[in-house]
Structures are given as structure tokens and as C-alpha cells.
Structure 1
């Protein structure tokens, strides 16, 4: 029986499809619309039995993967770096050659399959990205207003978020031309602040309705945003088989380069999801600076901070919340301190 393999190079508007034999010979190519029905028809009308259909992981791939899988095609989403290596082997960079490179990678098996998140995980991810974007624009607006006031010698000083608007308007009293410029910016900032409350409430509701996220929040330094981000990124916790692999999965372990006599340990790899890594870093900062309880993990963190500095210590410590959340999620457990309050453990939930 002859095996056939297909590679898809997909963009927003078009998809290049390449089908190869098991020996690597190209047998069929086409440029189609990025439509699951069109791709299925092209692959089905020839009457062959495909062993694998591969597409590169990108923003559109989750939707296309799900649609093709529902049609019964043996589709796999491959890791971007592996796809790039195959594409770079081609002399000329074209969409047609990219599809062939992916097909050849599919045939040889030199690729890593990527987990495609469920619809609920993608929805949670969209909520978190929207929340982060709105939260990040608030300091930007405030700093821009402060920058406009400084050339006129107007100093806001240290002020709470709630009193920022009133303080700025007091400074603008009697300066009608400047007020006409800054007042719309203040209105936009206030509107953004009100709108930010909506996704924040949605985040809190999502954490309360998910028992796994509630358990994750029992770990030190882990709040609603950290727990929900971890839950949405991992999606199926069983796919990370060993808790010791969690740090590497989120790019929190050092790179290593070894060749001949050279053996160098570098900085963390920063692979996988940047948002989750940022949230784990925030959890590490919380352990170092905001938790009053003195326990073994925090003492180790503080010693490391004195030796390496806060930033490097937080990067090193960020792996701990990830490990704790994974263990809690896998075992259906809670984090608990012992009677002395100095040691913590993942104990069975009541």
C-alpha cells in the first residue's frame, strides 16, 4: 500500500496544498481558497488515502485544524520552528515550495505535533489578552498626560489612580487652551478605566466557576489572572506528563549549547507562551515582595534575590508557581501549609 502525505501552507486568503508519495515524489499541487470545504474536496476527489495532513501552527490554524479534523482528515499541526527548518531547506522561498517543504517534513516524521487548544481555552485566552491590552493602555494614557503637563511646570506628584483625574483638572484650572487639549485625553482615560472593569469581572467570574482554577489559587503568589492564564494555556493538563517538565514547557529553563569541547549554559529559552511566562513572573514577584508569611520557598527566593538581584531571582523562581499549579491540577488537590506555616505541600482537597 502506497502512503500519501499532504502539506498545507496557509495564509489568510489562500492555501497551497502539496501531496507527495512515501518516497518524496510530488504527485499533486494546488492553490486553493483558505476554506475547509475546498481543501477537503481537493484531497478527496483524487480518491487517495492520506496517512497525514500537516499544517504549520499560526493564528488561523486552530480553526482550520478543527474544521479539517471534523471532516475526518488525519490532520496534524506541527511546531513552527520545525516547519521553518523545512522551508529554509528550499532554495527559493515561495508559498508553493513552503507547502512542499511541509509535506516532506510530514513524510519523514521530523516534526513535533502541537496541541491545538479547545474552544473554551481559546475563549479564555481571548479574554486574558483583551484584559491585558486594556490594562496596559491605562499607564500609557497617564504617562502621556503627565508628559504634556511637564513643559508647563505642572507636576501631578504621587497620586492614587482614583484621584488622578481630579488632580490633573485642578492643575489645568485657568489654562483654557491646555485644558482643551488634555481634557479629551482624561475623558478617554476615564472611559477606558470603566470599560476595564467589565473584562476584569468576567475574569473573576471565570475563576469562580472553574474548580481547578480555584484550587490553583491556593498556591502562594497565584491570583485569578495567573491561574486562569495557566489553565487556558495548558488546556489539557495530562499532556504534560511530568511535573518536572513544566518549567521547560514554558521556556523557564536555560538553553544549552554543546559541541566538542564547548559546553555553554545560556539564559532561559523563552519558548512557548509569552503571556503565561509573564504571569508566572508576576507570581514570583508576589512571593518575593507581597506575601508576609515566611515559608521555605520564600526564604529561598529572598536569599536568591540578595545574591542575584530581584529580576534574576524572579526569573528563577517563576518555575515554582508553574510546578505547583500543574501538581494541583493533575491531582485535584489544594496547596496547604503545615502546622508551623514554614513548609507547604500539595494535599488532597477536602
Structure 2
């Protein structure tokens, strides 16, 4: 008889529910959230597991890798689908959620989620840490601006390099303010130093990677965008067509249809927000800063004339996602002329 398992993961403990092919609960218990403890519970000759399901979450990649390495048929499922299924239960408990996931595995009512490779996970961690340091540094800079504005001291337009010099110039002669601002400047200085270190590491890794170098042949795409694209997409072959990448990244409009009503709304904003923001910045750079002519820029300019600059940038971001996937899959480089780019046009 076949058996199916549902895992409801929390930080300390994981609820495990095993059901047979008729839906009868065979085992229901909690274990410590660790791959070894789960393997010890599931490794029993009386079970013949068909599918083992767990929701996508912070610990899912770690648990998935441990169970898959042990030879179990583990599947990571999409969180929104699991939430919609489990919402039908009147009482939400860890035990009920594990049982619900087990039933989802039994009736095959789930959508699997791709679990990234270890290399992509490390690259993602690097980019996340880089963005975190940059965001904290900018937040401190804005807070200093607000503090000084209360005393009529306006920082004005100044870059990151000369920011500290400008602040010291404003508080010169005001000892009380200088004592308050100095710790903030020291924290901001340390954040900027560590950000520069991680930024250099990310850019160096992108420049030595052959796939990243090919992706950077697309106008507007730099080392950070190419590295983020590789870390997010991970395996290009998991997409049947390049057009599917735009929808996965939340760059396609939402369609709401009911009877005679058919409304097309804004972009869905589903998927990876970091890569979506990077693609938006790349599209904005291509449309406003890149001066070299290309068929892609000409296409975006025509869209801007018809629909406006904002919609043109979003459409260009989606098309960049499609082109980058095709360049990666084909092992080719970006073609600047329209005739040569027919093979990779979206």
C-alpha cells in the first residue's frame, strides 16, 4: 500500500502526518525540526512513500535537501495553494495542517516549487546581504538629514562619497550636534565599508562566470542584475518557454474575467521582488541612459510613445527577462540589430 506524508514545519518542531492511499491516518506525531530526526521517523520498512510534502518557507530548502539526499520522494509545494486548501478546515493547528498537506499529496492537489541549488542559494544570500547593508546605510543618511533639518541645516544634493564631509561642514562649530551626529556617521561609515566589500565580491563573481558575461551583453544589464538573474532562475530548463519567465517574476498583468466582464489590471507583482526591481532598474537605464542604438531600445521607445514611459519600462523589464532566459538557454549573446535577433526576440 502506498503512503503519503505531510510536514508542517516550524522553527522548533515539525508535525508529521502519514496517511495511506485511502486517506486513513497511519501515524501522527511531532519531531524536532532537523533532517536527521525526520529521516529517523520516516525510515521504516512498513512505509512505502509515494510523496512527501512540505510548504515552501525559510527552512524548506534545508529540510528538502536532507530528505532528498536520503532518497525520499520529497516535494516542496507552493504556499498560496496550500493556504487555500488548508483554509477549508475550521480549526487551524499544526496537526491539522500536517494532515491537510498529507491529503494534498494523496489526491495530487498541489503545485510544486523549484528548490534552488546550493550555488544559487549562496549567491542569493550574498545579494540579500549586500542589499541589506545598502538599505541600512541609506536609512541612516536620511535620518541624519531629518535631524539636521530641524535646526535649519540643509544637506542638499550630495553623493555618497562626499556625504560625510558635507555633514561635518554643517555641524562645524555646533559641538552638541557634532556629538550626536558622530556616532551615526561612524555607523554609516562601517555599513558603507562592508557594503563595498560585498559589492566587490558580487561583481567579481559575476565577471568570472561565463553565463553572467553573456547576460551582460544585453544593454542595461550589469554584473548585479546578471548575478541576481542566475540566482533566481537557477536552472533555465525548468521553463518550457522563455515567455513564462515574465509571469513567474510578476511582470505580466492580472486578468479578472467573469461572464461578460474581462478586466486586465496591473502587473501581478508575484515572484521574486529583488530580481523584479533589478530588471526594472535595468529597463530604466536602457531607456534613459544607454545611448547606443539597438532594436530593443527602439521597440521600448515606440511603446513609450503609445502607452507612456512608465508602462514602457515595465514592458521592457518583462522583455529583458525573456531575452536573458533565451541568451542563457541558447548559449548566445545579444544581437543588436533586428535582423540578427529574430531567434531571440520575445
Q: TM-score, normalised by structure 2?
A: 0.95
Q: Secondary structure at the match of 1:17?
A: strand
In 2, distance between residues paired with 1:310 and 1:178?
A: 43
1:142-161 counterparts in 2 under 5 A?
142-161=141-160
Query: How far off is 1:292 after superposition?
Result: 0.9
Residue 195 of structure 1 is matched in structure 2 by: 194
Whether 1:345 and 2:341 are equivalent positions in the alignment is yes
Whether 1:163 and 2:196 are equivalent positions in the alignment is no
Residue 269 of structure 1 is matched in structure 2 by: 268
In 1, distance between residues paired with 2:157 and 2:47?
A: 70
Q: Is the 8 A contact 2:300 2:316 kept in 1?
A: yes
Q: Is the 8 A contact 1:7 1:102 kept in 2?
A: yes
Distance 1:310 1:141, change over 3 A: farther
Q: Which runs of 5+ in 1 are unaligned?
A: none
Whether 1:205 and 2:241 are equivalent positions in the alignment is no
In 2, distance between residues paired with 1:298 and 1:258?
A: 33
Q: Secondary structure at the match of 2:109?
A: coil
Distance 1:119 1:106, change over 3 A: same
In 2, distance between residues paired with 1:346 and 1:132?
A: 36
Offset from partner CA, 1:52-96 (integer Å, 9 cap, x none): 111111111000000011111111111111111221121101000
Query: How far off is 1:168 after superposition?
Result: 1.3
Q: Is the 8 A contact 2:252 2:268 kept in 1?
A: yes
Offset from partner CA, 1:296-319 (integer Å, 9 cap, x none): 322332343344443332222211
What number of residue pairs does the alignment pair up?
344
Query: How far off is 1:241 after superposition?
Result: 1.8
Q: Secondary structure at the match of 2:341?
A: strand
146-155 vs 102-111, which deviates more?
146-155
In 1, distance between residues paired with 2:80 and 2:105?
A: 14
Q: TM-score, normalised by structure 1?
A: 0.94
Residue 21 of structure 2 is matched in structure 1 by: 22
Q: Is the 8 A contact 1:172 1:178 kept in 2?
A: yes
Q: Which runs of 5+ in 2 are unaligned?
A: none
Q: Is the 8 A contact 2:19 2:103 kept in 1?
A: yes
